[in-house]
A and B are shown apart, each in its own frame.
Chain A
Amino acid sequence: GNSVTQMEGPVTLSEEAFLTINCTYTATGYPSLFWYVQYPGEGLQLLLKATKADDKGSNKGFEATYRKETTSFHLEKGSVQVSDSAVYFCALKSGSTLGRLYFGRGTQLTVWP
């Protein structure tokens, strides 16, 4: 079946620290992988995505590389800001489904000045 396992939070960092949020997946077929971000009081926004193995998604200084050999899609940012404080969700869309997304449980990130 399809599932996503995400690093449990909360994660608390100082501004300019390095961020890693781990995400691993189980999927049938050849999934696309996504990171969504949810700011307080809002819905989810797509942060980045990768559609095939070895693709790197990037946006707003965040990066994640689709690693088929380790079934992982870890989110990284070299220098976090207070404005990055949010909940981050890893998700997959399997090629065998009709658009279903399978989400991880979310990781709360808090960045202190």
Chain B
Amino acid sequence: EADIYQTPRYLVIGTGKKITLECSQTMGHDKMYWYQQDPGMELHLIHYSYGVNSTEKGDLSSESTVSRIRTEHFPLTLESARPSHTSQYLCASSEFRGQETQYFGPGTRLLVL
């Protein structure tokens, strides 16, 4: 069973607020990912990391930022939330080598009013 956690699970917040979505994994995985899932279910990779101090932007342009100071922790921050940021955010991790199955957290549903 995957041990990857996301908090909060649900967040309703006003426009202009700064928010941080937390993601932690206890599997010692080097690679971590953030996906944005729109209401039509499609997944868009917005950030990924190959290890500590490594972060890259994904396919979908995002105003969010990420950091990777510790292997197990990969938080995503929005400096100023807007209604267009309303979405579900999924975090995932995988080993650096091998089958590289990605393990997903339960997601954070964000609503910006």
Contacting pair B96 A99 (CB below 8 A): yes
Knowing A43-B104, A44-B104, the reply to whether A103 touches B99 (Cβ < 8 A) is no
How many chain B residues have a CB neighbour from A under 8 Å? 24
Q: Which residues of A contact B101 (CB under 8 A)?
A: 34, 46, 49
B37 CB to nearest chain A CB (Å): 9
Knowing A32-B99, A98-B50, A99-B96, the reply to whether A43 touches B106 (Cβ < 8 A) is yes
Q: Which residues of A contact B42 (CB under 8 A)?
A: 103, 105-106
Contacting pair A100 B104 (CB below 8 A): no
A99–B95 CA distance with the chains assembled, in angstroms = 9
Q: Which B residues are closer than 8 A to A by beta carbons?
A: 2, 4, 6, 31, 40-43, 45, 48, 50, 90, 92, 94, 96, 99-107
- Apart from A42-B106, A98-B50, A105-B42, 18 more pairs, CB < 8 Å: A34-B101, A38-B41, A41-B106, A42-B107, A43-B90, A44-B90, A44-B92, A45-B2, A45-B104, A46-B101, A49-B99, A49-B101, A51-B99, A87-B41, A99-B96, A101-B45, A106-B42, A106-B43
